[in-house]
Structure 1
Amino acid sequence: MMSARLARILIALCGILGTILLGLYFGIGFSVGLAQLPPDTTVAQVVNLGKAYRNLWFMGTWLQATGSLFSVIFFLALVQRAGRVSSLAGLLTIVGSTVLLAVVLVEGVFTIALAQAALSGHPTSSLAAFDAMSMFTYVYAIVPAPVIFLSLGTILISSRLLPLAFGYVAFALGVAFVLAGFIGLFTTPLLTIIVLSLQALWVLVTAITLLLNAGAMTQATDRLNLASEA
């Protein structure tokens, strides 16, 4: 049976790996200009980019999907370790994480379709896939992100899994995503990208804190879990 200390280490590693993979996804996209394509990109431009960067589109899909999966495991593991799985906030975190994975996977389908349609000689399909793919930045900040971080913040504030500051920051991120999701619809998704960067920093710091305190915090948390399940 896996020890509590090993479980904490694996949970922390999921948070760290998820952040690294998502960082690579955005970093590669920005470095080659694929993350900065304007919405009025023409059919010819989309087809050329689909052909020229086919492998990068595919790699980006894998990085985003796998990084998001690790992040979701990290979020849900925090809920479990806090002993709040059956609470409303815990259930909402599960719902938000499910929606997050659905959004990421659907975006991945359109990303692959963009490149594959360009290679197959279907320029209209490639452009349609590009148009649909570019909308998911807006969707993430509207539902999954606020639900996850408002719920996680509530859980961490009411538990002793981590110092209270982590819960308050998570709750603040949830509020920031609500604002970014609404304002971004009428302006630019840049605000969402800024909050995403803060999210990545929070996950990384939280995961490292769990990793460094894997041994010291295990017994106290296990006693809390047993008490909540009693």
Structure 2
Amino acid sequence: MATIFITGASGGLGQVVTQTLLNEGHLVIATRQYSDNPHNLIHGFSDLLFTYETDLSDEAQVQPLIQRVIRNHGPIDAAILLAGGYTGGSLVETTGDLLERMITLNFKTAYYVVQPLFDHMSHQPTGGRFVLIGARQALNAQFGRQAVAYTLSKSLLFELSNLINASGEEYDIVSTVIAASVIDTAANRQAMPDADFTAWVNPQTLADTIAFVLFGAGRALMEPILKVYNRA
């Protein structure tokens, strides 16, 4: 059994990932926003699931939260950082305020968790694993030109992963970025009702990919970037 810290657990992807980890018998520590209903985090309850309220965009809240989680649950083996959001807008339409909002939502919420957890993992003999959710837009500008702030904020996650891997090599700390195209969630279906949903990426596919990276043969991968696009 591993102890896993996960952000964005109440989202369309996060609920599936959380349930998958619980089904495999892992201890899951999930963050939620103050506005979230904890009973909606997953379908049913589990004595392996613990939730903590926090604002991930506030470094002053995240740092003590991580320390409290470690005191309460012991060593953290892996962190899956799913928190984030999307806003469209071309280069001409993207203001500094919009860019800052996307960087805060998609990058800072990850960085504020990575920084203390990296320090924690570097002091344990088993090291640790990070999984970040990137986006195809950050790898292919043709897909990102209508969502400039989102694309730039997601591109920072790839660089963060590179820095984790460079800094963590001697500690057996490895970061994986999973770059998805369009994830088949209720929110995306509502936003794009005329799309071909079968071409999108099933959340369970991403959950299984994350499990493969953390616990399967994929654990041997170094500096991985996994492109999970399906036909979208």
Q: Normalising to structure 2: TM-score of the pair? A: 0.29
Q: Which of structures 1 and 2 has the bigger CA Rg?
A: 1
Q: Which has the higher contact order (CA 8 A, sep 6+)?
A: 1
Q: Normalising to structure 1: TM-score of the pair? A: 0.29
Query: Quick check: which one's helix share is greater?
Result: 1
Query: Quick check: which one's strand share is greater?
Result: 2
